[in-house]
A and B are shown apart, each in its own frame.
Chain A
Amino acid sequence: MHPSPTETPLLLDVTGLKKHFPIKKGVLRRVVGHVRAVDGMDFYLRDGETLGVVGESGCGKTTAGRCVIGLLEPTDGQVRFRMNGEMRDTTVLPFRERKQFSRHVQMIFQDPFSSLSPRMNVRAIVTEPLKVHRIGTPQERTERAADVLATVKLDRRVMERYPNEFSGGQRQRIAVARSLVFNPELIICDEAVSALDVSVQAQVINLLIDLRAELDLTYLFIAHDLSVVEHISHRVLVMYLGKAVETAGKRDIFQTPKHPYTAALLSAIPAADPQRERSRIHLEGSVPDPSQPPPGCSFHPRCEYAETRCREIEPMLEPVDGESDRWVACHRAAELTLEGYSRERR
């Protein structure tokens, strides 16, 4: 099921990604500091792979996704994407190729109530991207819309209806259909199922998994719900305060986490299993202010394993010995044995 890591070509390769937002104060709107929303991130995606990005609110996961698709211009770093067989830095593409890139990468947002215009009918919503890119005649666009609606299991008759006539799950299907009109290679799902009720959420998760197989899609799946991420992803990246702290195949991450923050996240997952054995790691305090990240490891003020070097030297994301595709940013990763997610019952 997991695409073989060595043979499958890279589709996306992000290196040193940074996005800092200026904080402006006073009548002169002078810049008094920066919110380091994303502060040095490296990750990659291979064809057909789903990378789940998890982290708590404000950790920069949405900002990272927006930098990848180009909705935000990175402060620093490279976002390289494979176009016509060649890895190209998308942050410096000429206009024409930039347009081509935007057809390869699409995004699905969290809230289908605000991501679909209430004044446009489904036909207009789904054909708009084609219109913007001046592809096809109106008839051809309508046919294409009917095709993608069929792909998400909606009847073509819905085209004359408006978003308010649909339930949350159906709206999210329309949003998925819109993202498919260009036959994209990469879809960024930013909390794409978080706003849905659980029974409907399962329908959309299944749809995304089916489409991945049918259309050879690659997903960057950004979400805060670890169970959903575990279900849909091949690999998982854990973010904390603008940085990737750990990335590995999902089995590895959930069974043998290497970073103390990952272990704390796993221990906090509420289980629909009343008799499950619980051993909760209590994190002290809250996430630091991203405009003034602490020195050294940004997790050290809340980490029970922190020692002197953690307070002084920032750990880099480094490969874990003997394991491919497994990276962690922790000075003590090698010596710590952390508990993974346990399904044991009392």
Chain B
Amino acid sequence: MNDNSKRLLDVQGLKTYFQTEQGTVRAVDDMSFWVAPGRTLGIVGESGCGKSITALSIMHMVPQPRGRIVGGSITYYGREEGPVEITALKPHGPAMRELRGRHMAMIFQEPMTSLTPVYTIGQQIMEAVVHHEGLDKQAGKERAVAMLEKVGISAPRQRVDEYPYQLSGGMRQRAMIAMALSCSPQLLLADEPTTALDVTIQAQIIDLLLDLQQDLGMAIILITHDLGVIGEMAERVLVMYMGKVVEFGSADAVFYRAKHPYTVGLLASIPQIGEDKRLVSIEGSVPSPYNLPRGCYFHTRCPHVMPRCREDEPPSFAVGEGHEAKCWLFAEKEGEVHAPVSN
């Protein structure tokens, strides 16, 4: 935030659409944000809001052939050779492969489906190191052992030769983090990294990610539906609804001074320990992606809906310093924001 000139990743007007038999799904629709080196951006939203597709777009791993990045740009500034435009690269081409793993890495919700059952943990961690850094097998294995130790797996020398099924859920998640971090990426995309885990293991993984971020100075894009996890980790928070950013700001601004009715509703929906008051839920449910409402996508559920909301899509309005909300409620009070949201 303080150093706006430094960017690691810049996403501008990103549109990722899926063609299905029922029509086009605009999974990500005109998203702009950027990430500074070493900082944590949280992306929060409910299932189907497009948060995972945002991450897959950055990794250029949008499921083919139905999904496609149809517009916008994703620029990565972390290479010494200069910035690179990810959307211009071939998804399976050598340039993209060079970026993936070495510069940016991703961890997923379910470690069992992201680790292959037929290779040992060590072989899977080594793969990236051998590919990107040209280490031989012996050195690769040593790196794997070192990484397992770094993520807090006990007896790493023994574990390195074990298969994923031999590890517990928390250990698998650690192994996957070790794999993602083996080449010291500058950007880590963590998609629901703790959702499948128990609460005590979740706390361990959150602390581990925060420690590793301190050590390695990497930026994290944390994607989750869990506002609790966002509250623990993120410095800046981006709230998504139906493929669009509805609110963005510092964690404090979004949690304590939420403006967009959707964010306000989400926060009121979570039970707070020690408070007995009735939960305020958001009425209705998420609209069908094939049949989106006109105007603001949230107007069908919004308690503050105005005639204008049914007709025109609102732009983002500044509602505080570095804090903006995509809602007509703030139209008269503040100026429209054109600058991209930042972190």
- Mark out the residues of chain B between 27 and 68 whose CB falls within 8 Å of any chain A CB in the assembled complex: 46-47
- The winner among A202, A203, A268, A272 for most chain B CB atoms within 10 A is A272
Chain A residue, CB-CB nearest to B237: A274
Cross-chain pairs A/B with CB under 8 angstroms, 6 sampled: A202-B270, A202-B279, A206-B281, A272-B270, A282-B204, A286-B201
Q: Please give, as numbers and ranges, the residues of chain B lying within 8 Å of A57 by CB-CB distance.
A: 169, 198
Known A270-B206, A270-B228; contact A202-B280, beta-carbon cutoff 8 A: yes
Bound-state CA distance A265–B199 (Å) is 7
Q: Which 8 pairs of residues, A with B, have the shortest CB-CB distance?
A: A270-B228, A231-B271, A202-B281, A202-B269, A268-B203, A56-B198, A199-B282, A272-B227
- Shortest CB-to-CB span from B240 to chain A, Å, is 13
| CB pair B202 A206 closer than 8 Å | no
Number of interface residues of A (CB under 8 A): 44
Q: Please give, as numbers and ranges, the residues of chain A lying within 8 Å of B266 by CB-CB distance.
A: 198-199
- Mark out the residues of chain B between 158 and 200 whose CB falls within 8 Å of any chain A CB in the assembled complex: 168-171, 198-200
Q: Please give, as numbers and ranges, the residues of chain B lying within 8 Å of A275 by CB-CB distance.
A: 252
Chain A residue, CB-CB nearest to B265: A199
Q: Which residues of B are in contact with A by a Cβ distance under 8 Å? A: 46-47, 154, 168-171, 198-204, 206-207, 225-232, 234, 251-252, 255, 265-274, 276, 278-283, 285-286
Known A198-B227, A206-B281; contact A224-B269, beta-carbon cutoff 8 A: no
Q: Please give, as numbers and ranges, the residues of chain B lying within 8 Å of A200 by CB-CB distance.
A: 281, 285
Chain A residue, CB-CB nearest to B281: A202
- Residue from A167, A202, A205, A224 in contact with B199 in the complex, judged by beta carbons closer than 8 Å: A224
| CB pair B203 A267 closer than 8 Å | yes
Bound-state CA distance A202–B200 (Å) is 24
Bound-state CA distance A203–B270 (Å) is 11
A74, CB-defined interface residue at 8 Å: no
| CB pair B271 A228 closer than 8 Å | yes
Q: Please give, as numbers and ranges, the residues of chain A lying within 8 Å of B271 by CB-CB distance.
A: 202, 205, 227-228, 230-232
| CB pair B198 A224 closer than 8 Å | yes
| CB pair B199 A231 closer than 8 Å | no
A226, CB-defined interface residue at 8 Å: yes
| CB pair A270 B281 closer than 8 Å | no
Bound-state CA distance A59–B268 (Å) is 31
Q: Please give, as numbers and ranges, the residues of chain B lying within 8 Å of A199 by CB-CB distance.
A: 46, 265-266, 269, 281-282
- The winner among A198, A227, A271 for most chain B CB atoms within 10 A is A198
Chain A residue, CB-CB nearest to B228: A270
Q: Please give, as numbers and ranges, the residues of chain B lying within 8 Å of A282 by CB-CB distance.
A: 204, 207
Known A198-B270, A227-B270; contact A286-B199, beta-carbon cutoff 8 A: no
| CB pair A274 B46 closer than 8 Å | no
Beyond contacts A200-B281, A227-B228: 20 other A-B pairs, Cβ-Cβ < 8 A, are A56-B198, A56-B200, A56-B201, A57-B198, A197-B286, A198-B225, A209-B278, A227-B270, A227-B272, A230-B273, A254-B274, A265-B199, A270-B199, A272-B227, A272-B267, A272-B270, A274-B251, A280-B203, A286-B168, A341-B273
Q: Please give, as numbers and ranges, the residues of chain A lying within 8 Å of B255 by CB-CB distance.
A: 272-274
